[in-house]
Amino acid sequence: MSAKEQKLHLNAFLYGTGHHEASWRYPDAKPELGLDIRYSQQLAQTAERGLMDSVFLADGYAGRSNKLEPFTQLAALAMVTEYIGLIATVGTTYNEPFHVARKFASLDHISGGRAGWNIVTGAQSAAFNFSRDEHPEHSDRYHDAEEFVEITKRLWDSWEDDALVFDKNAGIQFDNGKVHEINFKGSYYSVKGPLNIPRPPQGYPVLVQAGSSESGKELAAKTAEVIFTAHQTMEGASSFYTDVKSRLAKYGRTPDQLKILPGFSPILADTEAEAREIDEELNGLTATEEAVKRLSLRFGVDLTQYPIDGPVPLHAALETEEVNGHKSRHQLIVELARNEQLTIRQLVNRLAGARGHFTFTGTPIQAADAIEKWFRNGAADGFNIMPQLLPSGLDIFVNKVIPELQNRGLFRTAYEGRTLRENLGLVRPSNIRAAISNQI
């Protein structure tokens, strides 16, 4: 399929009142709705009205938040939508494979085949909530994650697709010969199996990965079907795109088996001047002192000791290899400050919009131009849309940007199917255990 025939894939990243950290203070914002399921249901319905592939909920296991647990929330979203995919972040370091396999299988059954798993290794701040004295080292977490994902796939495959029989006359509910123990023993886990719920409708939920470090790219090339990634420039995104796609062949995979979706975080208005006004208002509402403290933790240096309108002290920042957290995001932020010679205040404002993702301020036509340029030039298979204001930013994107993309022949005018795999153009994986059984 040529680039002209291919269609964009668009995910809506739902995030409270929006991805700008000061969005909750914006006059029209209603942060008190963060725990109201009707609010997120309305957002999901808006995204589905726009024929977007999926909605995504991020998650973590530490800190303060005003949001619901993703599995519970997505099950509720499934009840008021029909086509849109439902993706949740679930970390490997602070979970067990059996629990995760069971929950995603349940969500996939509840939604009729629309579940997706964003695989992360977890944040350093979570360690103290799980009886640990420290966060595991970066490479250890990724080795653990690789084994974790392998186990979940084997658990989903522990039931063959036709294992359920429900033969009332014979008194047989399921064929015991088609439900298998996995008896996995690895470096980190030992799991007997089988899973205690039948195989998901999609075979496996769509596997998403968000790490862009060297370890993250390799894990994605081996296991992921979608990548959420962050880039500030089309050139950087294109380089990442080429790099990761080139790694697929050694795992027996083809480029169309992996969709790469950079973050795109817009502020949209009918005129560019209006959009700029919103941008300036949001930056004026940012709690700068707190933002500098958070940035200090990422840099490993106390930035409050430096003039806020002076240059970012890059000479004092941690080297990427010294970081035991999000290495790729650390590197992106350092390069952003260096390449654009930003002051501390300027860097804080740039990160306030979407934590290092590509931010955009302008009109719907200009947004469509930017999206088309990245797509046409091999920098993306689509985008992870992260409106800086919600719900208004998603409303404008769906009402004005998507119709423009459709007019240009870049985006679907109807869903291709009812499962997330069908709409992403991904095949349903065959059952490994069934293949083994057929050979015996």
- Beta strand 206-209 with 382-385 is unpaired
pLDDT digits (tens, 9 = 90+) for 197-206: 999 999 999 9
Backbone angles phi, psi at 434, to 5 degrees: -65, -40
What pLDDT is attached to residue 133?
85
Q: Is 212 annotated as a binding residue?
A: yes
Q: Considering the chain, what percentage of its residues have pLDDT values greater than 70?
A: 96
Q: What is the pLDDT of residues 230-246, one digit of tens each?
A: 999 999 999 999 999 99
* Mean pLDDT computed over 66-72: 95
CB 432 within 8 A of CB 184: no
On whether 326 is known to bind a ligand per the annotation, the reply is no
Q: Does residue 4 have a pLDDT over 50? A: no
d(CA 67, CA 73): 9
Task: Look up residue 158 and give its two tokens.
Answer: 């522990």
As a whole number, mean pLDDT of residues 62-78 equals 94
pLDDT confidence band for 435 (50 / 70 / 90): low
Q: Is residue 242 a part of any domain in this protein?
A: yes
339 lies in some domain: no
Number of domains in the chain: 1
- Please report which confidence band the pLDDT of residue 215 belongs to, taking 50, 70 and 90 as the band edges: confident
The rounded percent of the chain whose pLDDT value lies above 90 is: 78
Residue 175, domain extent: 9-271+354-439
Residue-wise pLDDT for 313-328, tens only, equals 988 887 876 776 666 7
| Predicted local confidence at residue 324, as pLDDT | 66
Residue 298 included in any domain:
no
The reply to whether 429 falls in a domain is yes
Q: Is the residue at 307 inside a domain?
A: no
Please determine, for residue 440, whether its predicted confidence score (pLDDT) is greater than 60. no
Kindly report the CATH number assigned to the domain that includes residue 33.
3.20.20.30
Is residue 1 very low, low, confident or very high in pLDDT (cuts 50, 70, 90)?
very low
Asked if the structure places residue 321 within a domain, the reply is no
- Residue 434 pLDDT level (bands cut at 50, 70, 90): low
> pLDDT, tens digit, for every residue of 262-302?
999 999 999 999 999 999 999 999 999 999 988 888 788 89
**Is 2 labeled as ligand-binding?**
no
For residues 225 and 206, the answer to whether their CB atoms sit within 8 Å is yes
Instruction: Provide the pLDDT confidence category of residue 432 given band limits of 50, 70 and 90.
Output: confident
Q: Is the pLDDT of residue 2 over 50?
A: no
Domain contains 276 = no
What kind and span of H or E run contains 101? Answer: helix 97-111
- Measure the CA–CA gap between 228 and 261, rounded to whole angstroms: 5
Q: Is 357 assigned to a binding site? A: no
**Is 59 part of any known ligand binding site?**
yes
Contact 84, 48 (CB under 8 A): yes
184, β-bridge pairs:
191
Residue 115: pLDDT above 90? Answer: yes
Does 312 fall in a domain?
Answer: no
